[in-house]
Structure 1
Amino acid sequence: MTDAPIATTGAPLLQVKGLKKHFAMSKPFLNRLLEGGETQTVKAVDGLDLEIPRGKTLSLVGESGCGKSTVARLIMGLSNPTGGSIVFDGTDISRAPAGQPAAIRRRMQMIFQDPYASLNPRWRVGDIIAEPLRTYGLCETREAERREVDRLLEFVGLNAKDGDKFPHEFSGGQRQRISIARAISTKPEFLVCDEPTSALDVSVQAQILNLMREMQRELGLTYLFISHDLAVVNFMSDWIGVMYLGRLVEVSPAAELFANPRHPYTRLLLDTIPDLDMSKRDRQPVAGEVPNPINPPAGCHFHPRCPLANDRCRREAPALRVYDGDARASCHAAEEGRDAAAIAAQGPVAAPLQAAV
């Protein structure tokens, strides 16, 4: 086993290397001067490396606050990185101004988590979907613009006449379809999907997920999919990355990660899946709480909660290493084989649920 960057088969459309985002949490300078106190920084993203091949889906999972949505905002240019690079189809966009370069940004779009907050309530649906078309000058006339809006509405399963309505006239699932129509209006190649179904009920989730899978097949889209629902992730993903306190602790092909997780934190997450086989196997209890991100533990950030932690874990941050099945994990226990006995005693993880049919 050797150190290696995260790489997947096929030509990567998006490459992220050493990505960092730090947020200052200190009191104002004058307050620190008069009252004392040190500068405080939250490392929301702390050296992330990943690649996404064309036409594939990489999902990021992890507990709330691990940095998933921050990664999405950095890639889309909604926030400036503290360090690292973001390369889209050979162009470094990590230091570009918001919305620039336009030729690249047109090929990247985002579906937001809350369909109730992401649509302007004062605009008609037709104007919401047409806004990207106008921004990038993709339609020469208003008639052509209206035809394209009607086509997009029908493509996502709505009626062309819905363009004259306002967002409050639609259900949550219909609003998310409108958001999807807006996202694909510029004919993008890459979509960032930040928990696009978490605000929807289960039956509507299945409809939206099936729509997204169909879009990927028909349009050749590449997805960065962010979710905390492992059943949804299993349904959507080619690759899965697991984040913990701003770091990527494991990345594997989806089938390999569910069948043979390497990192103890990944096994912890998979233990939350209901055991449909009713095997009554022992599950490792979760120890402790998520550490304070302002002052994370030294070494492996997960060691205070890990049953396999030793002195090396407490002092030395593990690097991502390659394992069988093209999996990568940053875990000293996996590297040294200390996890083998624990995994054998615990038994296989539960079979993943299917999110949609």
Structure 2
Amino acid sequence: MFEARDLARYFDVSRPALQRLISGEGRRLLRAVDGVTFAIPKGTTLSLVGESGCGKSTVARLSVGLYEPSVGEAVFDGRDLAEARGMADQRRRMQMIFQDPYASLNPRWRVADIIAEPIRAFGLVTTRSEQANRVAELLTQVGLSPLDGQKFPHEFSGGQRQRISIARALSSNPEFLVCDEPTSALDVSVQAQILNLMKELQQRLGLTYLFISHNLAVVRQVSDRIGVMYLGRLVELAPAESLFERPRHPYTRALMEAIPDLDMTGRERIPVAGEVPSPIDPPTGCAFHPRCPLANDRCKRERPEMEVAGDALVACHAVEEGRDMAA
């Protein structure tokens, strides 16, 4: 359904031209996403996880065409998004659920108008009564009352607002949904309700999800496959259960170490050391080598590429050479 081919997005964060000329410095590029490749089969969920600033949300925006790629291609149903940017049908078939339910809804519009906007924009109905019926159906589908359509967003809780956002995303009958941390601003109990709703909608409507999150517990519940990102690149891509049972990349194992041990087994934990490097001036070789306990001279010199390791793809010299602890 969706494929990223060596996808990259760079932002120019240089100082003004006169200041650069006086100081003698060149342009500075922030490599938010730096060559990401993955594919999402129809009806499945791929989740991307990683620390804040690793490029997850930039991938989400690239996937729906909100950003143009600096390098590479974003391909939806066999068609390059750059070529299909002006095609209404292409835009109708992909939608996005944003992170903050308090900022993503227009406070001056009633809920019925918010949900009906994509219906009007794509000309999916011809009469006002059909539009009202469709809005009522969508509100019911996400667990709200049709009468809620006459209210304003400020009259709802965070979880209810996110349900409204989901209803708006579904109003154009999409096939591909990009979910940019849709539960991060919600309480844990409300998170579970929203996740259950999204799984139920996927099964009923055959939706394909790209799910962005930093919460590993959430990701495990909703994903078929998981991609782990570090400093703009994928370091591991594996089936969800395989990733949790046997993580291969040292960074993935460090993320697993951060999950609370509810069974209180008393096993020793080795937290990841150091700070995330700047994406403006990333390290040479493997970007994770300054923090990696398995790094050697090759890691500092040569950037690893994704290689097959069992049922996973891993970008790590230690895994390739058999020096990783999992081996």
Normalised by the length of structure 2, the TM-score is: 0.98
Which residue number in structure 2 is paired with residue 8 of structure 1? none
1:95 Cα shift?
5.0
What is the number of residues matched between the two proteins?
A: 327
Q: Is the 8 A contact 1:15 1:88 kept in 2?
A: yes
How far the C-alpha of 1:60 sits from its partner, in A, is 0.1
Is the aligned partner of 1:331 residue 2:316? yes
Aligned equivalents of 2:82, 2:210: Cα separation in 1: 17
Counterparts of 1:101 and 1:262 in 2: how far apart (Å)?
41
Match of 1:222 among 208, 212, 215: 208
Report what 2:168 is aligned to.
182
What is aligned with 1:310?
Answer: 296
Matched, 1:122 2:95: no
Q: Which residue of 2 aligns with 1:354?
A: none
What are the Cα deviations for residues 153-172 of structure 1, in whole angstroms up to 9, with x where unaligned?
Answer: 01100000111110000000
SS at match of 1:73: helix
| SS in structure 2 at match of 1:48 | strand
Assess if the C-alpha contact under 8 Å between 2:228 and 2:236 holds in 1: yes
Q: Confirm or deny: 8 A CA contact 2:42 2:207 kept in the other structure.
A: yes
Q: Which residue of 2 aligns with 1:131?
A: 117
Q: Match of 2:2, as an amino acid?
A: L
Instruction: Tell me which residue corresponds to 2:73.
Output: 85
- The aligned amino acid for 2:46 is L
Deviation sequence 1:5-38 (CA, Å, 0-9, x none): xxxxxxxx10110101001111111211123222
Counterparts of 2:207 and 2:271, CA distance in 1: 39
**In structure 2, what is the equivalent of residue 150 of structure 1?**
136
Q: Secondary structure at the match of 2:166?
A: helix
What letter corresponds to residue 149 of structure 1 in structure 2? V
Aligned match for 1:104, one of 90, 93, 97: 90
- 8 Å Cα contact 1:80/1:95 also seen in 2: no
- Cα distance in structure 2, aligned partners of 1:24 and 1:96: 26
Instruction: Tell me which residue corresponds to 2:56.
Output: 68
Question: TM-score, structure 1 length as denominator?
Answer: 0.90
1:205 pairs with 188, 191, 195, which one? 191
**Offset of 1:280 from its aligned partner?**
1.3
Structure 1 portions without partners, runs of 5+:
1-12, 345-357
Q: Structure 2: how far apart are the matches of 1:167 and 1:154?
A: 17
Match of 2:6 in 1: 18
Task: Supply the distance in 2 between the matched residues of 1:225 and 1:94 (Cα, whole angstroms).
Answer: 22
- One-letter amino acid of the structure 1 residue matched with residue 241 of structure 2: A
Report the equivalent of 1:59.
47
The alignment partner of 1:333 has SS state of: helix
Q: Does 2:163 correspond to 1:163?
A: no
Q: Structure 1 residue 96: deviation in Å?
A: 4.7
Equivalent residue in structure 1 for 2:26, among 38, 42, 49: 38
One-letter identity of the residue aligned with 1:157: G
Question: C-alpha separation between the residues in 1 aligned to 2:83 and 2:273?
Answer: 40
Q: Identify the residue that residue 348 of structure 1 maps to in structure 2.
A: none
Corresponding residue of 2:251: 265
Seen in structure 2, the aligned counterparts of structure 1 residues 300 and 95 have a Cα distance that, compared at 3 Å, is farther
Residues 223-245 of structure 1 show CA distances to partners (whole Å, capped at 9, x for unaligned) of 00000000000000000000000
Distance (Å, rounded) in 2 between the aligned partners of 1:82 and 1:95 = 15
Which one-letter code corresponds to 1:67 in the other structure?
Answer: G
Q: Is the 8 A contact 1:20 1:46 kept in 2?
A: yes
**Alignment-derived partner of residue 141 in structure 1:** 127
Distance in 1, Cα, partners of 2:71 & 2:151: 43
Letter in 2 for 1:314: K
Q: 2:221 aligns with which of 235, 240, 252?
A: 235
The answer (yes or no) to whether the contact 2:257–2:271 under 8 Å persists in 1 is no
- Counterparts of 2:283 and 2:251, CA distance in 1: 15
What amino acid maps onto 2:41 in structure 1? P
Give the Cα separation in 1 of the matches to 2:83 and 2:52. 27
Letter in 1 for 2:233: R
Shift of 1:278: 1.8
| Aligned 8 A contact 1:251 1:329 in 2 | yes
Q: Which residue of 1 aligns with 2:261?
A: 275
> What residue identity is the alignment partner of 2:22?
L
Cα offset for 1:293? Answer: 1.2
Letter in 1 for 2:21: L
Distance 1:127 1:266 in 2: 43
